[in-house]
Structure 1
Amino acid sequence: MIVTSVPLINSDRLNRNIAQLAQIGKLPNGGVSRVAFTREDILARQLVQSWMIDAGMTVRIDAAANIIGTYAGKIADAGALATGSHIDTVPVAGHYDGVLGVLSGIEMVRVLHENNIVLDHPIEVIVFTDEECTVIGCKAMAGNTVNDPNYYRRNDETAIEVCLEKAGGDWSKIATAKRKPGEIAAFVELHVEQGGILENTGEAIAVVIGIVGQYRHTVTITGRPNHAGTTPMNKRKDALVAAAQVVLAVNKLGVETPGEQVATVGYLNVLPNAVNIVPAKVELKIDLRDLSQKHLDNLLSELKQQLIQIAEATKTEIVINQALHVLPTLAQAKILDAISQVCQQLNLSYSYLPSRAGHDAQEIGRFADMGMIFVPSRAGISHAEDEYTSPEQCSQGANVLLQTFLKLDRLYQA
C-alpha cells in the first residue's frame, strides 16, 4: 500500500486512457499497430494533444514533429523538468511500450493542475517522433540528425519531408528542433521494462542506472565457390565454415568476458545458398551492448583480432564495417537518488538495472540530466500483442514519476 501525504495520480483515469489509446490501431486479437506517420499514428497524436490541453498544458509541435506539452512554472526562465516517450509502435505491438511514459506524464500534470500545484520549474511532457524506426524526434532535439533526407526515407519509399509535414513538422527547419543548453534541466522517462528481471525478483520498480551503448557491425566473409562433391575438404575456402566460427567467437565473447555485456549475431546471408555448392560469401551482422564505452571498445578490439585468426585458419577474407555506433548514456546520480528515495517513501520495492534497449532518454541524456523508471513486463514480453503490465504496476510507476518531479523541483534550484 502506498502511504503519502501528497497527491497521487488517478489510477482509474490513467489506465482508462491507456485502454482508450489502444483502440487507435487496434488489431483483431487485441494488439496495436500504430506505425509512425500512418493514419493511426496521426489520430493518436491528435487525441494525446487534446488530453494535454485538458490537463492544463499549452501544446506546440517542433520541426521534428515532436509534440511538446508545457505546464508553466513559477519561474519563467527556469529549465524544464521534462518527461515523455513515444506513442508510435512496431507493426504488431502491445498497449504499453512508450505509451505508459507519455500518458503518465499527462496524468501527473493533470493531478498537479487539479490540486492547484505549480512547481518552480515548468514541466514538459514530450511525445517523441518515430522512436521505433528512425528515432528522428529525440535525435533532432539533441542535434544529432543526419543531414540527408534520404537517410530517413521510409520502407515504402515515402520521403521524410512528406512524413513530417503530415505530423506537423518541417524537414527544412529540422535544425530548429535542437534544444538550447539549459532549456531542459532534467528528463525522466517512465517505461515498461521490456524484460523479465523485475518479474523474476518480485520488485515493483527498477531505477535505471543508464542505457547501454550499441555497437553494430556488418561482417563480410569471402571464400571460393566450388563443387560440393568434387572439392576436397582441405582445398576449400568455405565462407560459411568461417562464419560459423565467427558466430561462436561472438557468443564466447559475450559469455566468457568478465562483465555484463551481451553479444549477438542475429542476421546471416549465405551466397549462393545452394546445397551442392561450397559457400562463396556470407554476410552477418553483430550486435554488442554494454553500459561502458571503454568495455565496448575492448570487446570490439578483441573481436577484430579473432576475425584475423579465423580468416587465416579458413583461408577466407573477412572484412568488418561499422553499421551503428550508439554510445551509452548514464543516468544522473541525483536523479537516481531521488527515484530511490521516492520508492522508499511510497513503500515500493526497487532495484537498480541498466536498460539494454534503446529509449528516447538516451539521446536527451546527451544534453540534459537523465533518469529512467521501469515497471515490470509480464514474462518479459514486449513488441508483441501479449505485452502486459498490470493497472496497479502502471499506477505505481506513474506515482513514482509524480513524486520524483516534486523532489527534483527542489533539487534543481531555478
Structure 2
Amino acid sequence: MKVYSRTSFPLPVEQLNAMVEWLSGFTENKGSGVTRLLYSEEWLEAQEALKRKMEEGGLDTYYDDTGNLFGRLEGTIDADSTVLTGSHIDSVVNGGKYDGAYGIIASFLAVEHLYRKYGRPSKTIEVVSLCEEEGSRFPLTFWGSGNITGVYKDKDITHIADKSGVSLKEAMNKAGFGRGIHRLPYRENIEAFIELHIEQGSVLEKSCNSLGVVTHIVGQRRYTVSIKGKSNHAGTTPMQDRHDAMTTAAELITYITAKVQKADPHLVATVGKLDATPNVPNVIAEEVSFTLDIRHYDEGMLEKVCAEIFQHFEVVSQEKKVNISFSQWTDVKPVEMDAFLQEKAIGVSTRQQLSFQKMLSGAGHDAQLFGTHCPTSLIFVPSVNGVSHSPEEYTKAEDLTQGVQMLTELLYEMAYDKGGEEK
C-alpha cells in the first residue's frame, strides 16, 4: 500500500547518513565521539559550514548576536511570522553524532526539499542551528534558545567562566558575537517551533514505534554542591578528629540516591561531576564540589524533594563539622507541548502509516524554553539501546529517514497553502 504524503520526499538514506557523518567531523577529538563546545573553533567551523550548506540550498542566512544561525525561506503571503524548526549544534564532551545535529540536518533537508518542489512558502520558515543547549562548557544551559525567548535577556554573564577560566563573554566575543554586530536574539514573531530529536532513551525501541509525540518535558534543576573541610595528613590524623570533605560528599551522594528512589519512580537525580582539593592520595580532602542534576515532570515534586535534600545537608554539616553550601545554576520548569501541534503531528504520522506514541521527555530540550514562549512541538525518533551522550549513540537510517519525511509533511501543512502547486 502506498503511504499518503503530499510532499513525496524520496530521501536517499546515503544522503542523510553522509550529512550526519559530515557534521560529526567538526569535533575537537577526531575519531572518538563528538566534542563541539560552545564558541570553540570546532563549533564556529560547524556553524560556518552549515551556513554555506543552507545558502547552497537556497536559504537566506544570518546570525543573531548570540551565535544562533538561521536559514530563512521567506513567505509569499505572511513574511513576518515564522515557523521555526531545528535544534542545537553543541555537544557534550565525547558525545554522539546525532544529538542535536540530527534535528538541524532533518530541518534543513525538509525545508530544502519543500523549496525545490513547491517554491517559497506562504508563511516564512526558518531553520535554526541553536548555538548551545548542553551546558558542557559553561555552567548554564539553553544559551541559544534562552536568548531567543528572553530567558537570558538581563543575565549577568561577567562572572561565568569555563574550567580554564575563560569567561563566557570573552569566548563569545572571540567567536565574533556579543558585540552588537548581528541582530538581537530576542524574537516575538515565532508562530511555532518544531524540534525533531533522537529520543536518547529506549521507550520507542521497546515499544517498536517509529515516532514519539512528546506531551511534556520534565523540569530540570542543576546545582553545584561544595563541602569545605580541613586538609591534613592521611596517616597521622585519627578518624574522629577529621573534617573530611570527601567522606562527607560520599555520604551526601548516597543519601540523594536513596531519597530519590523512594520519592517517585519518575524522579531522577544524577551526580555527574566531582572535584577534590588537593586531590592527592595521602592527604585528607579539604574541599570537594559535585554537581547535582534532578528532574521530574511536576514542579511541586521537584520543590519538595530539593527542599528536603538541602535541609538534610544542614544537619550533616553540623554533624561532620564541615561547611556545606550550594548554588543553583539551572532552573528549567516542566513544560507541556502544544496540544494542537501534537494532534497535527499525530495526523501526519497516521496518514504516513508511521507507528507512534505519546510520551514524556526525561531529557531537557530547547523545545522546553520555546514551549513557554510560543506553540511548540517535540518529536522523537528511536535511539538504539537507549544510548546517548556517548560515541555509541546510534539511530537506524530507516528511523532517521522517516523522521525527516514526517517533518517535511508537517512543515508543508503549517507553512504552504493546501494543494500548493509544485515548483
With normalisation by structure 1, the TM-score equals 0.84
* Structure 1 unpaired stretches of 5+: none
2:406 to 384, 400, 403: 400
- Matches of 1:50 and 1:299, distance apart in 2: 47
The answer as to 2:269 corresponding to 1:263 is: yes
Displacement of 1:187: 0.4
- Matches of 1:20 and 1:317, distance apart in 2: 49
- Matches of 1:166 and 1:225, distance apart in 2: 39
Identify if the C-alpha distance between structure 1 residues 122 and 275 changes in structure 2 by more than 3 Å, giving closer, same or farther: closer
The answer as to 2:151 corresponding to 1:144 is: yes
- The share of aligned pairs that are identical, in percent, is 31
Superposition pairs for residues 8-23 of structure 1, below 5 Å? 8-12=8-12, 13-23=15-25
- Matches of 1:163 and 1:278, distance apart in 2: 36
Displacement of 1:4: 1.0
Superposition pairs for residues 206-225 of structure 1, below 5 Å? 206-223=212-229
- Matches of 1:139 and 1:2, distance apart in 2: 42
Displacement of 1:29: 3.5
The answer as to 2:180 corresponding to 1:178 is: no
Superposition pairs for residues 339-350 of structure 1, below 5 Å? 339-350=345-356
Please give the per-residue CA displacement for 1:40-85, whole angstroms capped at 9, x wherever unaligned: 4334333322332343322222222222112222432552111011
- Matches of 1:42 and 1:281, distance apart in 2: 36
Identify if the C-alpha distance between structure 1 residues 321 and 19 changes in structure 2 by more than 3 Å, giving closer, same or farther: closer
More displaced, 108-117 or 387-396?
108-117
Q: CA RMSD in A?
A: 3.3
Q: Which amino acid in structure 1 is aligned with residue 84 of structure 2?
A: A
More displaced, 91-100 or 183-192?
91-100
Q: Is the 8 Å Cα contact of residues 9 and 395 (structure 1) preserved in structure 2? A: no
Superposition pairs for residues 364-383 of structure 1, below 5 Å? 364-383=370-389
1:201 to 207, 220, 226: 207
- Matches of 1:89 and 1:236, distance apart in 2: 40
Identify if the C-alpha distance between structure 1 residues 223 and 296 changes in structure 2 by more than 3 Å, giving closer, same or farther: same
Q: Is the 8 Å Cα contact of residues 2 and 348 (structure 1) preserved in structure 2? A: no
Q: Which amino acid in structure 2 is aligned with residue 188 of structure 1?
A: I
1:307 to 302, 313, 330: 313
Displacement of 1:173: 6.2
Please give the per-residue CA displacement for 1:102-153, whole angstroms capped at 9, x wherever unaligned: 1211111122222226544211111111334454322221223364453455
The answer as to 2:324 corresponding to 1:318 is: yes
- Matches of 1:157 and 1:239, distance apart in 2: 24
DSSP-derived class of the 1:139 partner: helix
Displacement of 1:317: 4.3
- Matches of 2:197 and 2:72, distance apart in 1: 20
Q: Is the 8 Å Cα contact of residues 5 and 352 (structure 2) preserved in structure 1? A: no
2:367 to 348, 354, 361: 361
- Matches of 1:26 and 1:319, distance apart in 2: 34
Q: Which amino acid in structure 2 is aligned with residue 79 of structure 1?
A: S
Identify if the C-alpha distance between structure 1 residues 311 and 151 changes in structure 2 by more than 3 Å, giving closer, same or farther: closer
More displaced, 7-16 or 273-282?
273-282
- Which residue matches 1:80? 82
- Which residue matches 1:61? 63
Displacement of 1:234: 5.9
- Matches of 2:284 and 2:166, distance apart in 1: 40
- Matches of 1:119 and 1:109, distance apart in 2: 10
Size of the aligned set, in residue pairs, is 409
Displacement of 1:395: 0.8
Displacement of 1:256: 0.8
The answer as to 2:298 corresponding to 1:296 is: no
2:253 to 247, 250, 268: 247
Identify if the C-alpha distance between structure 1 residues 243 and 341 changes in structure 2 by more than 3 Å, giving closer, same or farther: same
Displacement of 1:38: 4.1
DSSP-derived class of the 1:8 partner: coil
Q: Which amino acid in structure 1 is aligned with residue 302 of structure 2?
A: L
Q: Which amino acid in structure 2 is aligned with residue 347 of structure 1?
A: Q
